[in-house]
Amino acid sequence: MPFLELSLRCPGREQPRYEAALEDIGALSVTSLDADADTPDERAILEPGVGETPIWPEVVLTALFDAGSDAERVLSMLESFDDGLDLSNASFREVEDQDWERAWLDQFQPMRFGARTWIVPWNHELPAEAGDDAAIIRLDPGLAFGSGTHPTTALCLQWLDTLAAQGALEGIDVLDYGCGSGILALAALKLGARSATGIDNDPQAITATTDNAQRNAVDDRLSAFLPDDAPERQYPVVLANILASALDALAARIAARVAPGGRIALSGILPDQAPDLVERYGEWFDELQVTRLEDWVRIDGRRRD
């Protein structure tokens, strides 16, 4: 039996409002994609930051409804739920269960970050160019918030790969603040970290991180918590791939998690937001550097002793 799929564009700032309406009228799932990507392969799955969604100016929402759902009735229910929604660009199609799964999987190909780090969908063979020392992270696109396709995630993965090349990850504990899918925590473990902790305010992110840890056979070394449940401790390496507003609001809390002399990487930042955050984190960190990839930047530095 085919599903009914609804595609709908909306401003990024309105995404939670549209998603709430879709879920209220019975959508089985709602996926957020970057509306500005040129091709489906470039559309990163939305990776929410701590208390922040989404990260794109305009979003394409894709919602699935039960087989036999009537498109006109779906639109009517949306209008009844919130008559301020713009439904003028709504489009529908029927998708078979198998085709829907295939569409998810086909968006993801093995991706390399730095010298050793590879993100590989569970259904793909290892690339021939992956060496014996490759750090392989297997992801299920159906569970993951972040796949590595977005520049903010790529910047953090590249940074971890560089730390590993310097021997700075071997046998240490890592914190992934705003873990989403847990991809950064997983990468740190595969690159030599002893343990990793993920923190996120979305229970679905905790589930995704836990599932991905099991898939990668590191669930004995990765723990994921909601913010209020997380242990209060410091880490030699901390990553926070969230948005600039959250990085600013949580600066003191994030800085307190970094051990003296420890390393930090911040991402989810637009270039014009970087100077203010460099100044903000300069209260605690030295050697702050800004690295750009496409329209996003990473800030990294070292905690003062």
**Residues of each annotated binding site:** 153, 178, 200, 241
Q: Could you tell me the two tokens for 56? A: 């794109």
The binding site for S-adenosyl-L-methionine comprises 153, 178, 200, 241
Strands ordered across the beta sheet of 296-303: 222-225, 195-199, 173-177, 235-241, 258-269, 296-303, 285-293
The Cβ of residue 68 has, within 10 Å, a number of other Cβ atoms equal to 9
Measured CA to CA in angstroms, residue 49 lies from 20, 25, 46, 146, 206 at distances of 18, 26, 9, 11, 13
Taking each helix axis from N to C terminus, what angle separates 71-81 and 15-24, rounded to the nearest 10 degrees? 120
| Nearest one of 147, 131, 150 to 139, comparing CA atoms | 147
In three-state form (DSSP H/G/I as H, E/B as E, the rest C), the secondary structure along 194-216 is: CEEEEECCCHHHHHHHHHHHHHC
d(CA 100, CA 248): 39
Whether residue 144 contacts residue 183, with contact meaning beta carbons closer than 8 Å, is answered with: yes
Which among 249, 201, 253, 261 has a CA at the least distance from the CA of 232? 253
Give the C-alpha separation, 291 to 301, whole Å: 11
Q: What is the CA radius of gyration of the chain?
A: 20
